[in-house]
Structures are given as C-alpha cells and as structure tokens.
Chains A and B, each alone.
Chain A
Amino acid sequence: MIKINSLDFSYKNTQVFRSIDLEFQKGNIYGLLGENGVGKTTLLKILCGLQRPDGGICTIDNMIPSDRKPEFLQNVYFLPEEVITEDTTPEKYIKKIGVFYPRFDMNLFYKLEKELEVDPKKKFNALSYGQKKKTLLACALSLRTDYLFLDEPTNGLDIPSKALFRKVIANYCTDESTIIISTHQVKDVENLIDPIVILDNDDVLLNASFNEITKKVYFEYGPERLPDALYSEMLPGGYINVMPNKDGIESNVNIEALFNAVMKNKELFKSRKL
C-alpha cells in the first residue's frame, strides 16, 4: 500500500506539491490525471525513489522510496514516457535486468511479446517507436513487480496497439499489484483505470473510485445544456452534462467530462461538499 502524508515537493522556486495526502490501495489500476506541469511524472518519480520529497512522508509497504533499498527496488518498476533502449535485442536486455527481480518470468515476456506482436530477437534500433514502447511494456510486466508506474504509456501507440495495451494490463493486475498510469489520453485507458486521481497545481483535487464518483455525480446525455450541470459539453448529437447526484441516479463515468468538471469546480471537489 502506498501512503503519502503532508508531502511537499518543489523544483528550486517552483512548488509542485504542498502538503498533499494520498493513498493507493493494492489490487487497483489508478489513473493519474492532470493538466500539463501539475506534477504527474514528479509524483511517479517520488513514488519510485528517483526524487526526494522536501517534507512529509511517502511510504510503499512501509518502505521509504528515496532510500532506494534493494528490497524496495525489486518490487517496483517505473516505465518512463520517453523510450530509452540499449544497442541490443529485447531478449538480451530483459535477461540482463531480469536477474535482479525475484519473480521475473521469461516465459511471460515471450508470451507478451507475441501478444503485442514484437519480435524479441530483433535489435531495438530495428524496431519502430511503437514496437519499442510495447517491448518495454512487456519487459515491465514480465518482471512481475507489485508496483508498476507507467508514464504516458499509450503515447506513440497505434489504435490496435492501444487495445492490446489495455488487454495485457487488465490481465496483469492481481490483488497484490498496484498500477498507476499517468496519462493525458484518457480515452486510451477508459474501462481500464479505477480509481482516478486528479492533480492540480500543488494539490490533489480528486482521489476516488468510479463507485464513489457515481454516488456524487452522474453523467447525462441529452439534447440540451442543463442549467444545474457542473460541466456541459457539446457532442455529436447532443450534450453531455455532469450533474450533482442527489437522487442516486446510476450512470457510466465519462472520464474526460469528469476531468473537465473537476477542473471547472476545483473548490467544490476539493472540499468534498458534493
């Protein structure tokens, strides 16, 4: 379990987080959303010990990430947005790093490479950007760490690959694993992520499961913009309205509309007065 209490972080004079509190439970695939520059990548880096907070406490299974102890590191994997590969084949690369991870599964790697349609014997520089990205995802999953942090994992993937991405991630998640996906491409991870964390400048606006969200708001598709809507947006054929849910109306979450509703009503969502 990941616990963050009163976490402060800044880059020189820019405050990124001011006393934020967050919890990430096991067995979930979290969507980490936010506008550009609010600190999504920074939060992932703090969680895997690549950055040290200025204040507050961050622990993962009672271990402090910034200590970078082997016991912690062998249970965490961070896949950055940028694709960085070595002058070797994916097969040799994963064999080299896999020895450090006690639950690494070479057969799973081959299986994932096959599912993602990438040849593990081809050198990285002979693969396209999307193939490299899929290969690194296969590497990350085959290490079988309990915590997996993915930064913009669908950037550069084509449409079939995005579907494959959702499939392999959904299959990978167990009761013991926690996946945090930081993304701008909410449609790519729709039906995959739950709960959702929305970050704002130096603060957390929302950390809730779909179940909790739909108890507070509902999503109505209709011909017109409703006056009480927290957020309305014109879609082909009508409007989507995000409405306060006072009558327990059931609906499916539209992540993009939810995100915009939260950004438009920051104080309301932060104060949890909905």
Chain B
Amino acid sequence: MNNTLDFNRLGKVIRRDAMNFIPNFGWSLVILWAIPVVIWLTSFTLFISQGGEVGGRLQMLRFLSTIALVVAPAKLYKDCNDPRKGIQYAMMPASSLEKFISMFIFCVIVTPIVYTAGAVALDTIMAAFPGKNPYDGFIFKLLFNAKERDMEIVEAMGSQSLMYDGYLDDVNNAFSGFFIYFSKIISIISMSAIFMFGNMIFKKRKTSKMIGILVLVFIFAMVIFIKWVMNHEDLMDSIADEELNREMLIHLIRKANYISWMISIIISAVMLGLTYRKIKTQKY
C-alpha cells in the first residue's frame, strides 16, 4: 500500500471535503454574494444611476473574493486542529499529503472559482436588467482580459491622475498577459496559504488572529522601511532630483513586481510547508 499518495484515496478525501463544502461554507458564500445584490437593489430603488461602472464592480468583486479566500480555511477546516472535534479528521484513513492536497484544492482553487462564478453570474443578471439600470456593462466580458480588466480597476480608483499621461499604457506594456495572470495566481496562493496556516495554528478566532498578525507584520515592515529610507537620505534625494524617465520607470516597476513575486512565492512555500507539517504532527 502506498502510504504517501494514492489517487483513489485522494479522490475519497476530495469527495468528503466536497460534501462538507456547502454545509460549512454555504452561508458565508451567500452573504458575500448578497452584498453586491443589496448595493444594486439599493441603487435601483433609489434611482442612483452612477457608481455602477464595470471598474468599480470589478474592484468590489476582487475585494469580496479576497474575503472569501481569507475566511475559507477557517470555515471549511475549522475543526481539524480541535482537540475533540479534530479527532475524526486526524484519524481519517488518508495520508497527511492527501489531506493537505484536498485542503489546498478547496481553499485555493474551488473557493475563488465558486465565488467568482456565482458573483459574475449575479452581476450579469443585474446588469442585464431592463430599465434605468445603475449597472453599466458586463464584468464577464473582461474576466479573461487581464490587461483591460486592470485598466478599468485603476481608472475606477482614479490613481492614474497621480501619474503622467500614458502611465497606464507603460505599466501595461511592462508585463505580458501571462505575467499578469501569474501575478494574480501567486497572490491568491500566498493569501490562502497564510490563512491555511493560521487555521492550523489557532484554535479559536483563527481568521481575526491571523489578520492581527499580518497587521503587526505590516507595521513592523513599514517601520523598517521608513528607518531604511531615513538612513539613505542621499540616495532618495538623488532619485527625486532625476527627471522621470519612462524606460527607467518601467524597469523599476518590473523589478518591484519580480521582487514582490519572489516574496509571495517564498511566503506561499513556507506557509504551505508549515501547514502540511502541522497536519502531519498535530496532537489531539
């Protein structure tokens, strides 16, 4: 018997987790799906015709799908490290790797797909509603066009006004569609991985504790960064004095993104590795 990975057994674990998906996570998904519907209904009944452009809705979809990703591990696998309720999970005759793969599939793949599919379907129904509809345009048309989608979001945020004309084109040209998708996938994995690990180390208030830790880490990183900037005033002054060079900017954006990807990949690998180890060695 293969005690590490057996696809038949993995299928059984996935089936079991799939059976628990709706009972454990269904209501949370319904609430997250209902938020844009409530906003739309409010706008519709109050005859507010503005604020329903595609960019703004995409931004909201991104925010809500991030919430779905963040809460998914604690909703789907809340009991797996509980000293009493977790016994059944620990004693399920499957390897730690199979349990981990199934957890990864449901937190990282199934959750964003199910949430996004549902949200886009609802958005399409709302946008197609006849009459003085506050929703203008369809999100699904931009769903598989990463560059255009990101442009819409940046425009909706109004951040292009901070830069020179053609800045968005430059940013867009800095990356291929593949890299934009790659970047999204990495950010989904790293976000999920952090909260999957949080779900394994905390027994109660798993998501809020992990958010608290992330806030502390962010504050700590900012303090370090500000200290570093203050210690390198000469370098900062010389950068500020230079005329903004478009090529140099694209180069900098590329570099910053590559560094951010590297950090995300390292965080994902470490968090997923620790989650697997915790599944394997958790005591009850």
Is B91 within 8 A of A48, CB to CB?
yes
Is B6 within 8 A of A70, CB to CB?
yes
What are the interface flags for A67-101 relative to B under an 8 Å C-beta threshold, 1 for contact and 0 otherwise? 01111011011101010101110000000110111
* With A80-B84, A99-B12: A87-B3 Cβ-Cβ less than 8 Å: no
Is A77 within 8 A of B91, CB to CB?
yes
Distance of B283 from chain A, by nearest CB (Å): 5
- B16 interfacial contact with A, CB 8 Å: yes
- B204 interfacial contact with A, CB 8 Å: no
Cα–Cα, bound, A87→B24 (Å): 10
What B residues does A96 contact at CB under 8 A? 16, 19
- B92 interfacial contact with A, CB 8 Å: yes
- A216 interfacial contact with B, CB 8 Å: no
Is B91 within 8 A of A70, CB to CB?
no
In A36-84, the 8 Å CB interface with B consists of 45, 48-52, 68-71, 73-74, 76-78, 80, 82, 84
Chain A contributes a number of interface residues (CB within 8 A of B) equal to 26
Partner of B283, one of A51, A69, A74, A84: A51
Distance of A76 from chain B, by nearest CB (Å): 7
Chain B contributes a number of interface residues (CB within 8 A of A) equal to 25
Distance of B8 from chain A, by nearest CB (Å): 10
What A residues does B93 contact at CB under 8 A? 70, 73-74, 100-101
Find the A residue at minimum CB distance from B2: A70
* With A100-B94, A101-B93: A69-B3 Cβ-Cβ less than 8 Å: yes
Is B3 within 8 A of A70, CB to CB?
yes
Cα–Cα, bound, A47→B281 (Å): 15
- B275 interfacial contact with A, CB 8 Å: no
Cα–Cα, bound, A96→B89 (Å): 12
Cα–Cα, bound, A23→B110 (Å): 46
Cα–Cα, bound, A101→B19 (Å): 18
Secondary structure at the B interface, as helix, strand, loop or mixed, is helix
- B96 interfacial contact with A, CB 8 Å: yes
- B90 interfacial contact with A, CB 8 Å: yes
* With A70-B1, A80-B87, A84-B84: A100-B283 Cβ-Cβ less than 8 Å: no
Cα–Cα, bound, A96→B23 (Å): 14
Cα–Cα, bound, A80→B91 (Å): 12
Cα–Cα, bound, A96→B19 (Å): 8
Is A100 within 8 A of B95, CB to CB?
no
Distance of B78 from chain A, by nearest CB (Å): 13
Cα–Cα, bound, A217→B98 (Å): 52
Distance of B133 from chain A, by nearest CB (Å): 40
Is A73 within 8 A of B84, CB to CB?
no
Cα–Cα, bound, A71→B84 (Å): 23
Is B91 within 8 A of A82, CB to CB?
no
Cα–Cα, bound, A87→B85 (Å): 13
What A residues does B281 contact at CB under 8 A? 52
- B140 interfacial contact with A, CB 8 Å: no
Cα–Cα, bound, A96→B13 (Å): 10
Cα–Cα, bound, A88→B94 (Å): 22
Kindly name the residue among A48, A50, A68, A69 whose own CB sees the greatest number of chain B CB atoms within 10 A: A68
Distance of B116 from chain A, by nearest CB (Å): 27
Cα–Cα, bound, A211→B63 (Å): 70
What are the interface flags for B71-99 relative to A under an 8 Å C-beta threshold, 1 for contact and 0 otherwise? 00000000000001101101111111010
Minimum-distance CB pairs A-B, first 6: A74-B93, A73-B93, A50-B284, A69-B3, A100-B93, A71-B1
- Kindly list 19 other residue pairs between chains A and B, CB separation below 8 angstroms, not including A52-B281, A97-B92: A48-B91, A50-B87, A50-B91, A50-B284, A51-B284, A68-B96, A68-B280, A69-B3, A70-B1, A70-B3, A71-B1, A74-B93, A76-B91, A78-B87, A80-B87, A82-B84, A84-B84, A84-B88, A100-B12
CB pairs A–B below 8 angstroms (8 shown): A50-B87, A70-B6, A70-B9, A71-B1, A82-B84, A97-B92, A100-B92, A101-B93
